[in-house]
Amino acid sequence: MKEEIIFAGFGGQGIMFMGKAIAYAAMNEGKHVTWIPSYGAEVRGGTAYSMVIISDEPIASPLIKEPTICVAMNGPSFLKYEAKIKANGLLVMNKSIIDAEAERKDIDVLNIPITALAAEAGDHRIGNMVALGALLGRRKIISPESLINGLKDIVSSTYHNLLPVNEKAIRKGFEYGSR
């Protein structure tokens, strides 16, 4: 198994955190992992993406030209990355924000109301956790439990009170992605 994932969106949507969280959880499952964050000029509100490779084998290069998975949290990210996804890949798109339809027929498209589901889970700002849950529901890269347990290690103890709402968002996304 080898998945090359690009998480993309506006700064402030938790793009870097998504990459870090899934990479950390996969590492805890004994998988080989790389994670490269990239910020746009403005950081909050600007463009941001992170690249994560998760593999059962050692990884030769951390760079991704053609992702097997893309999580597009906004319209510009969807427009930039849809054409770059490998055939039979997965596109997770935030239908709460992206007002377009995927044109590719050779990829799996999960068009999910990420922001709306995050609000249902308790906080519209945790759409990144809904997206991760949906991704794990569609592609069984790691278990949702590994992701949930890994959050305890990468989230500052100051914010551990938010772990239950993050878990709820991950599970809500997982359920949606498993359909």
Task: Name the CA dihedral angle for 106, 16, 130, 53, rounded to a multiple of 10 degrees.
Answer: 40
Comparing 40 with 7, the larger pLDDT belongs to 7
pLDDT tens sequence across 19-65: 999 999 999 999 999 999 987 655 555 678 999 999 999 999 999 99
Joined tokens for residue 7: 């998480």
Q: Which pLDDT does position 62 carry in this prediction?
A: 93
Q: Which pLDDT does position 61 carry in this prediction?
A: 94
Q: Is the dihedral of CA 53, 169, 44, 9 positive or negative?
A: positive
Would you say residue 109 has pLDDT above 60?
A: yes
Please name the CATH architecture into which domain 2-177 falls.
Answer: 3-Layer(aba) Sandwich (3.40)
Alpha carbons 19 and 51: distance in angstroms, whole number: 7
Alpha carbons 111 and 134: distance in angstroms, whole number: 10
pLDDT tens sequence across 129-176: 999 999 999 999 999 999 999 999 999 999 899 999 999 999 999 999
Q: 140, 138, 142, 148: which is closest to 175 by C-alpha? A: 138
Q: Which pLDDT does position 86 carry in this prediction?
A: 98
Name every residue whose Cβ is closer than 8 Å to that of residue 41 and which is 6 or more positions away in sequence: none
Would you say residue 99 has pLDDT above 90?
A: yes
Domain boundary assignment for the chain: 2-177
- Please indicate, yes or no, whether the overall pTM of this predicted structure exceeds 0.85: yes
Number of H helices, E strands in the chain: 6, 6
